Each structure stands twice: as C-alpha cells, then as structure tokens.
C-alpha cells in the first residue's frame, strides 16, 4: 500500500473503527442533549402537520388549499393581504393557525401584531400565495370539505375578503371613525400605506376607541407605536384617507 511509503497501513482499520465510534457517540450525545432537529426526529406535531399537508389533493389549487387549512380554515380568515415577503392576515383568532403545518409549507416565522392579526413570513412568493388563496376561496363550492378537518373549522368562503373587489362598507360612517380616533383635533396625520391600509398619527392614544373603530367598519387596528396606528379598511383606503383629510383640514 502507498508504494511502501506509509508505515503500518493496516493500522488504518482499527483507527477508522475507533474514530467512527467516537464521532457516532458524540453525534448521538449532542443531538439528544440539545434536541437538534434531524431527519426522522421531528416532533409529533410536525409529523402530523406533514401528513396533513400530504393528504390534501394534488389539484392545481392544492398549495392554496394547504395554506387555507393551515391558517385555521376559511372561517378564520377575514382579510387576506400581502407585502413583499409576508402574508398579512386579519383573522378571528391567530391561535387557530397550525404553525407546524405552515412551516412545512415554507413559513420562516410569524408575527402577531394584535389579537386579530397574523403575519406569516414566507419570502418573495408571499404576494403570489396570497393571490392564490383569494382565488381558491372564491372558486371552492360552498359545501367543500377541502379545507376542513376535525380540528380546523370547515371551509366557508363568505368571511374572506378579496382585496381585488373589497370596498369600504356602505354602513361605514366616516364621522364615527373620526370620533373613535378622539375627534379631528386628535388626528395629526392620515396617509395611505398600502392598497388596504391607512396609517394614522394621533396626539393622545388614550382617546382612541378600538371597539368603536371596528363597529364603524374597520377590519383591524394595529399599534405601530404609541402614537401611530394602522387601520385595515380594504382597497378603498385612499377614499377613506381623502374623506378623513377633508374633515380634519376643514
């Protein structure tokens, strides 16, 4: 072996066996000690989520159906929106979302800005997936069980808001919104920040009544900081900004 350059080459066999035992023992010790995620050692929750995702049909809209299921079913979705890297959702309860299943589907993380909002960090495909979710919900039959399970509410497309057609409800009273914000004297500025969201800077946050805002038709209220709030209103956000601006500037 090695053209007689190596000395005692047969020692490689016992040394190799010894190194294998050492590396294997250390690997097993650290994996168990720190509960490192390795193939075949997923938690039962992750295994259940993976199996649930695999059981959904391979139809063209299956990816969207999987996301709807993981997000708690259509009954849990009140508004589906997206920015560059995140699904921005208004939900009945963030706790109904199956985070393990969402991770299987590619979620990198989660943000819960308020009790009725959930953001799912996906990456650059977020806007595409949001569009697929909205489209799938409008095409599913009312009696579809594609997005229901024993632990997730059954599919119901009615509560979901499609941003492509959403408008501020006719029952919305702009005056009531201004009043819920503490009257026009409490509103420092109002600007549109996205198709469906309005950012409002206020002087005294304690004067803002969130429940009255929701009663007036606002889908969700998110505290950006102490004196700044974002209101989810649908794709007529610009109209709302214009009307509120007229009131506070008159």
Distances (CA, A) of 132 to 60, 84, 165: 10, 15, 15
Tell me, yes or no, if 250 is annotated catalytic: no
Q: How far apart (Å, rounded) are the C-alpha atoms in residues 10 and 141?
A: 71
Catalytic residue among 83, 192, 207, 210: 83
Question: What is the four-CA torsion angle of 134, 138, 144, 146, rounded to 10 degrees?
Answer: -20
Q: Which helix (H) or strand (E) segment is 137 a member of?
A: helix 126-139
Q: Which helix (H) or strand (E) segment is 180 a member of?
A: helix 174-180
91 phi and psi angles, rounded to 5 deg: -130, 160
DSSP tag of 143:
T
Is the distance from CB of 98 to CB of 70 less than 8 angstroms?
yes
The pair of three-digit structure tokens given for residue 24, joined into one six-digit string: 């294997």
Residues with catalytic roles: 83
């Amino acid at each position: 072996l090695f053209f007689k350059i190596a000395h005692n080459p047969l020692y490689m066999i016992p040394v190799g066996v010894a190194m294998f035992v050492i590396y294997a023992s250390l690997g097993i010790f650290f994996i168990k000690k720190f509960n490192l995620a390795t193939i075949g050692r997923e938690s039962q929750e992750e295994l259940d989520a993976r199996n649930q995702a695999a059981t959904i049909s391979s139809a063209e809209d299956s990816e969207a159906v999987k996301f709807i299921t993981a997000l708690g079913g259509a009954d849990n979705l009140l508004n589906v929106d997206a920015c560059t890297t995140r699904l921005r959702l208004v939900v009945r309860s963030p706790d109904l979302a199956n985070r393990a299943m969402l991770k299987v589907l590619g979620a990198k993380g989660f943000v819960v800005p308020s009790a009725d909002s959930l953001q799912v960090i996906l990456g650059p495909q977020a806007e595409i997936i949001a569009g697929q979710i909205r489209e799938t919900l409008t095409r599913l039959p009312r009696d579809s069980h594609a997005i229901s399970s024993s632990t997730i509410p059954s599919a119901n497309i009615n509560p979901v808001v499609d941003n492509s057609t959403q408008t501020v409800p006719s029952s919305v009273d702009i005056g009531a919104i201004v009043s819920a914000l503490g009257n026009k004297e409490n509103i420092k500025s109002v600007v549109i920040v996205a198709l469906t969201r309005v950012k409002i800077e206020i002087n005294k946050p304690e004067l803002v009544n969130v429940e009255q805002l929701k009663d007036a038709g606002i889908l969700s209220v998110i505290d950006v900081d102490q004196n700044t709030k974002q209101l989810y209103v649908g794709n007529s956000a610009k109209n709302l900004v214009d009307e509120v601006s007229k009131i506070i500037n008159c």
